[in-house]
Structure 1
Amino acid sequence: MTQVEMKDTGSRYLNRDLSWIEFNWRVLQEAQDPLTPLLERAKFLSIVSSNLDEFMSVRVAGIQDQIRAGYSKKDFTGYTPAGLYKRLISRVDKMVSAQYRTYREISRLLVKEHIQLLKYDDLNATQCKSMESYYHDIIFPVLTPMAVDQSRPFPLVHTQFVYLAVVLKKEGDRPEEEPYFAIVQIPSNLARFVKLPLHSNSKKQAYILIEELIKHHIQTLFSGYIPLAVHEFRVTRNADLTIDEEGAEDLLEEIEKELRKRRWGAPVRLEVQKGFHPYALELLQEEFEIPDAIFEIDGPLDLTFLRHFTGAVKGNPKLRYPQDDPPYPREFEGHDDFFEVLRERDVLMYHPYECFDALTDFIVQASEDVQVMAIKMTLYRVSGNSPLIQALADAAESGKQVTVVVELKARFDEERNIAWARKLEKAGCHVVYGLVGLKTHAKILLIVRQEGKDLKRYVHVGTGNYNDSTARLYTDIGLFTTHPAIGEDASELFNLMTGYSAVQDWQAITLAPDNMRTKLEELIDRETEHAKAGRPSRIIAKMNSLSSQDIVDDLYAASQQGVYIDLIIRGVCCLRPGVENLSERITVRSIVDRFLEHSRIYYFENGGQPEIWLSSADWMTRNLTRRIELMCPVYDERARSIVIQILRLSLEDNVKAKQLMPNGKYESIANDLPSCRSQFAAMDIKMWKKDQSPTSI
């Protein structure tokens, strides 16, 4: 692309939030792809909705706050808050319309597969009788109609719950009299859909949403009144927490208090069912003070229910991705002693293609091993029934020194993490909530073991959370190592997080916000010097997001000096690639497929002696300045060769990978090379986990 064309787009940078919109479009494209199994397409629609919920409640809410505060300064991509907000709402509106067109298409295709989501009028006599009983026995007792009038103010409407707006008149009222208004919350503690009875020999599966049942029976809640209209609506509120950590005597209690306030966050978005009654809409607009972020929905509100719906549907395996049981890492197979294996070599695991259970088993063994003196670990997001928590609790109860750094501020997981923190403390673990003003996002486990006269450190570092559920859905790398320098750094890191220790010089790892930004600048500059001297130089960086202006500028400068840079970025990217005299040596690709690409891998050619780093950090300002993040070198040759194979697969993907163009749009990669779908290829573990693999790309 020429410089003139770049000028037409307005900036040498792409805007972070508009780039995120492009990412969610790529998720939506998976739902639209006829080659994606049908129930998986429905699941991708659910992901589009949950992504949008978080985006509106955090990013868009923040922009609204700036507008209300009168902030009008342009960001580094050239947008004022007001200008950006207007464009975002327009793009979201188009996305939602496309999402629901896709929903209707998928619904039609499901009917052909004998799977139906019915309206009440579609039910036969048997089904009506069954749903009458279900409504009166299960649903009706938990419903609470809430009238709105002079004596009863507007009730609290919880964020992201579906409600019914009911417009009524009294029997005998004249037509010109102002109607009555009430709302009814769709119970969130009941399943959103109900399976309908069918003939015993029927191959069909039929379901109905519970709001359909409530709407049909709305008269049971308002005897003496005539319903004029019953429509669904949903409000999204600002979900950001404002916590004064320095002034909080007990951070856990302060966060619990802020979580209760989240229910009262300022309204950000209003979704209403198509054909919504104008009187009800006027009342809602007045109550929520939302002038423009109002979305009319042609279909069921809140498609996140599709995730559970696709799980409830039975049979017909062709409608889903094949069910794979990830194998146990071959390095540990046939061995009862993890410590013995790790004394011989480092072990690298690639999830979800290898079983996460190995990490849990390692901690369980450590909790039972009499020679283990201490276990230290960071926890950012853990599953609802995490076996790791029980293993850590068992270790503490057996008398071991167990220290857990729990991040209470992990957005939308705060309540779960508070519950885990209390359980661990009760078991006797030392629980630390991290450093004031910083989120602890690093993923690291340290086990200290007495071996003869010496203490030996066993370390695991990961690119993703210690979460057994997401480890089946996210691509992440975990490295087990006994390298002395990494072990000593791990001890220093935990001392820093739990005490007053100040590390003067890291031997191996790099830490944010301490020295990671500086280290990345040094690594990029070193590639530039190699390129200028005619030595091999290349950067390959795989991450979730790139939005740091400083890092983008460093990459631009390296490209201009001859460094070839391949970026594999799933989501946000503020760098504009392929621009003449700026970024012509930089490519950016994104892979959206069955699993969520989550691993952070950084490769530097280094004049023919490559360095590889695994990290918890994306290249975003928040990661480099406001979080405790870790970047760890991979020293073991066999582990390095595995990482190189993983990067190679990503670079060769020409099925699901899309390339970022200079105009900010993504296009499919068209080439004459053999078809490669990196995630499916990675399932052939023998291919990327070879004993003899290249040490350079």
Structure 2
Amino acid sequence: MTKQLSHYVNRDLSWIEFNRRVLEEAQDINNPLLERAKFLAIVSSNLDEFMSVRVAGIQDQLRAGYSKTDFTGYTPAVLWKRLIKRANQMVSDQYRTYREIMRSLAKEGITLRSVEDLSAAQLKVISDYFHEIVFPVLTPMAVDQSRPFPLVHTKELYLSVLLKQDGEVEEEPLFAIVQVPSILPRLFQLPSRAGSKKLEFVLLEDIIQQFIHILFNGYTPFAVHPFRLIRNADLLLNEDEAEDLLEEIEKELRKRRWGIPVRLEVEKGIHPYALQMLQEELEIQDNLFLADGPIDLTFFMKFANSLPGYEHLRFERMEPQYPQEFQETDDMFEVIRERDVLVYHPYESFEAVNDFVMQAAYDPDVLAIKMTLYRVSGHSALVQALAMAAEAGKQVTVVVELKARFDEERNIAWARQLEKAGCHVVYGLVGLKTHAKILLVVRREQGTLRRYVHVGTGNYNDSTATLYTDIGLFTAHPVIGEDASALFNEVTGYSSPYEWKAFGVAPTDLKEKLFRLIDREISHALEGRPAYIIAKMNSLSHQAMVDKLYEASQAGVKIDLIVRGVCCLRPGVPGVSDNIRIISIVDRFLEHARIMYFANGGDDEVYLSSADWMTRNLTRRIELMCPVFDQTLRQILINMLRLNLNDNVKARQLLPTGVYTHVESGSEPHRSQFEAQVIHNWKSSV
């Protein structure tokens, strides 16, 4: 008798399946070779964050003795074992893929050499490099009775070193560690051999191993192996009692380096004594991975991006187009007054957003600028424009989210810079992350005030805007403007609950508004009117939302979901989710837009949102969902969704078993991201 499947897919196991889809892109021989290498790096980076946050959280539950079953049927203990097993299987596949990619790169004249294979001239070069550049920054750290085991930083690469003293017989080896300096390039380019045009590289840790005896005068290193540790990276903030949230986060960031060890990665073939020492000192037994290749493959990202002259091994370069609506004008306000404007990144340039803020900064009729910042690039033109506006005497209010994970330090720096320029900087509400993406400009026009608003599905980050697919909407619609002002008032001051005219706002009413929209589709279906939902998002894991979609399916509502990552809904279950189809698209750009379409009995409605349908987004964050009122723009967004749904090259369909499989190709291939590169395919299609 077969065990009946749960109606829900576990969130963390679903994430493993997502990262496996990323790995499939590294394995896809139809992708350019250096792009495959970059996907390999993304797999590693994704796994690091997953281990330091999600798996670390499960480890905390185990340590606290928590044993309750979650809504998908897993206890922390069972889930831990299954996650570690599946993660290790995936990483083993990743290293097999690494070796395949290296063999293919070698055919292109790009090779990674071991020190043993170097010519005498190349050995001389790495010797000089070691003595002149590497050696001065190395610090050998011995471990003995007088010198306790040193702090091992998370995600940093180290070498474990076993030694014996020259001329003496030791009962057991001496032990030391050496950090591989991350300030130096992981790959060192060797001079070409005589008559060869090949590019040859050697790993920094291999160079250090070759000359490591120099660090231990009078001792002989006999076993040297790389290792790497992942620590718990979650911040434990007590926001209620923190007098200064900025200082509290800075204090917690310093603690992150001492986070509890979660995962240990070591080189396959490591000496048993060295492994025993590492496991005992770092107190880690279960989450151990033996790497059959270089530890930490994230170095492939810089490597793949920095090689000149190999454009044939990359995707064809795509230059974002400046939005056509703004191309023939110096006055963006005039254009937005006349009509709403939709911008689709990365096909259209983020410079339009920068220019909008810059124009507002210089415009003497602009009185105020208000904006949320969640993740900002390292050299943000937006931040410079906001600072200029404040220095010009405008009222500039910036809600900076200090708790944006792994961007905390950068956001603290931006907050201080903006404050120095005279901006009002707000850190949001206690216990809630401000994840909404909204920009409000208040302008004086003909004796009255007009509000101009930009809402987006992605961060105000010009770097990720070239890598993520996101939607931005410029509008001067008065109802959206009123809601925008009310939203900033709620975040920055004291304000009674507001009756939103257009927005759905989490955590107060976004979930309820979505439920009302789904219930309306259910009513249409039951009464024989058109009932159809298309929702595109990054993740779907909120149990009540999954249950509501099941209810809609059972009522006859057709539902198409485009969920890039985690998905706890199990489609195609007879009597439960027969009418639900789910696809995931993993391709050149990270699918990041959140778009919701409701047929509404033939009177279509479309919304843009910052929120995924996850518990954290709907209950613990300030999120925003905004309607698109312009009929032409609504149709453009519907066409974009259909473009995704027709993808039969990079789309995978989620089966009732929880397994993803490539969508069956029809007679003609459709690759939505590549078809969307031709702007007229979606903007001029209505």
TM-score bucket of the superposed structures, by smaller chain: over 0.9
* 1:331 aligned counterpart, secondary structure: helix
Measured in 2, the distance between the counterparts of 1:330 and 1:645 equals 19
Residue 648 of structure 2 contacts residue 666 of structure 2 at CA under 8 Å; is this kept in 1? Answer: no
Using the TM superposition, give the Cα deviation of residue 674 of structure 1 relative to its aligned residue in structure 2, in angstroms: 2.1
Structure-1 residue corresponding to 2:57: 62
Q: Which moved more, 1:579-588 or 1:185-194?
A: 185-194
Pick aligned residue for 1:281 from 275, 288, 294: 275
Residue 128 (structure 1) aligned with residue 147 (structure 2): no
Match of 2:42 in 1: 47
Q: Once the 2 structures are TM-superposed, how far is the Cα of residue 193 of structure 1 from its aligned partner? A: 1.2
Going from structure 1 to structure 2, the CA distance change for 1:243 and 1:621 (only over 3 Å counts) comes to same
CA distance in structure 1 between the aligned counterparts of 2:37 and 2:353, rounded to whole angstroms: 32
Quote the residue 1:459 is aligned against. 453
Aligned-partner residue type, residue 131 of structure 1:
I
Instruction: Report if aligned partners of 2:537, 2:593 keep a CA contact under 8 Å in 1.
Output: yes
What is the 5 A alignment of 1:36-435? 36-174=31-169, 177-198=171-192, 202-435=196-429
**What amino acid is aligned across from residue 62 of structure 1 in structure 2?**
G
CA deviation after TM superposition for structure 1 residue 284, in Å: 0.8
Report the equivalent of 2:677.
Answer: 683
1:605 equivalent to 2:624? Answer no
Q: Identity across aligned pairs (percent)?
A: 67
Shift of 1:502: 2.2
Q: Which AA in structure 2 matches 1:332?
A: F
Deviation, structure 1 residue 673: 4.6
Name the CA distance, whole Å, in 1 between partners of 2:196 and 2:393.
59
Q: The residue matched to 1:8 in structure 2 has which SS?
A: coil
Which blocks of at least 5 consecutive residues in structure 1 are unaligned? none
Q: For residues 395-433 of structure 1, what are the alpha-carbon distances to aligned partners after superposition, in whole Å with 9 as ceiling and x for unaligned?
A: 111111100000000000000000000000001100000
User: Using the alignment, how far apart are the partners of 1:187 and 1:536 within structure 2?
Assistant: 61
Given that 1:205 and 1:313 are in contact with CA atoms closer than 8 Å, whether structure 2 keeps it comes out as no
Secondary structure at the counterpart of residue 655 of structure 1: coil
SS in 2 for 1:92: helix
Give the number of equivalent residue pairs: 686
**Alpha-carbon contact 2:649-2:665 (below 8 Å) kept:** no
Name the residue aligned to 1:542: 536
Q: Is the 8 A contact 1:492 1:503 kept in 2?
A: no
After superposition, the CA RMSD in angstroms is 1.0
1:657 to 651, 657, 661: 651
* Contact kept in structure 1, 2:11 and 2:541, CA below 8 Å: yes
- 8 Å CA contact 2:347, 2:677 repeated in 1: yes
1:306-326 Cα offsets, whole Å, 9 max, x none, are 000111212132200001111
The 5 A counterparts of 1:496-515 are 496-515=490-509
Cα shift at 1:199: 5.2
Indicate if the aligned counterparts of 1:463 and 1:476 stay in contact, CA closer than 8 A.
yes
Distance 1:237 1:113 in 2: 38
- 1:553 is aligned to 547
| Contact residue 376 and residue 402 of structure 1 kept, 8 A | yes
Following TM superposition, by how much is the alpha carbon of 1:33 offset from its aligned partner in structure 2, in angstroms? Answer: 0.4
AA of the residue aligned to 1:432: V
Structure 2 CA distance for aligned equivalents of residues 438 and 463 of structure 1: 19
Q: Which residue of 1 aligns with 2:4?
A: 8
Letter of the structure 1 residue corresponding to residue 342 of structure 2: L
Cα pair 2:442 2:451 within 8 Å, conserved: yes
| CA-CA distance at 1:202 after TM superposition | 3.7
Aligned mates of 1:372, 1:403 — CA distance in 2: 13
Shift of 1:464: 0.3
Bigger CA drift: 185-194 or 406-415? 185-194
After superposition, the C-alpha distances for 1:593-644 in whole angstroms (9 at most, x for unaligned) are 0000000000000000011000000000110000000000000122112211
> Which one-letter code corresponds to 2:631 in the other structure?
E
Structure 2 portions without partners, runs of 5+ = none
- Distance in 1 of aligned mates of 2:310 and 2:223: 39
> Displacement of 1:133 after TM fit?
1.1
* Residue in structure 2 matching 1:639, options 621, 633, 640: 633
Q: Find the aligned partners of 2:189 and 2:398 in 1 and give their Cα distance.
A: 43
Q: Is the 8 A contact 1:367 1:392 kept in 2?
A: yes
Q: TM-score, normalised by structure 1?
A: 0.97
| 1:504 Cα offset (Å) | 2.7
Please report how far the alpha carbon of residue 471 of structure 1 lies from its aligned counterpart in structure 2 after TM superposition: 0.2
Alignment of 1:25 with 2:29, yes or no, is no
Q: Structure 1 143/275 Cα, relative in aligned 2: closer, same or farther at 3 Å? A: same
SS at match of 1:242: coil
| Deviation per residue, 1:194-236 (Å, 9 max, x gap) | 1111158642111111111100000010010011100000000
In the alignment, is the contact (CA less than 8 A) between 2:486 and 2:498 conserved in 1? no
Q: Distance in 1 between matches of 2:311 and 2:432?
A: 45
Contact 1:603 1:612 in 2 (8 A): yes
Matched AA of 1:412:
F
Is 1:573 aligned to residue 567 of structure 2?
yes
AA in 2 matched with 1:640: R
**Structure 1 position 41, deviation (Å):** 0.3
Distance 1:498 1:448 in 2: 16
Q: CA deviation at 1:367?
A: 0.4
- SS at the partner of 1:517? helix
Match of 1:472 in 2: 466
SS state of the match for residue 324, structure 2?
Answer: coil
Please state how far the C-alpha of 1:173 moved relative to its aligned partner. Answer: 2.0
Between the aligned partners of 2:646 and 2:244, the Cα distance in structure 1 is 50
Q: Could you state the TM-score of these two structures normalised by the residue count of structure 2?
A: 0.99
Between stretches 456-465 and 185-194, larger displacement belongs to 185-194
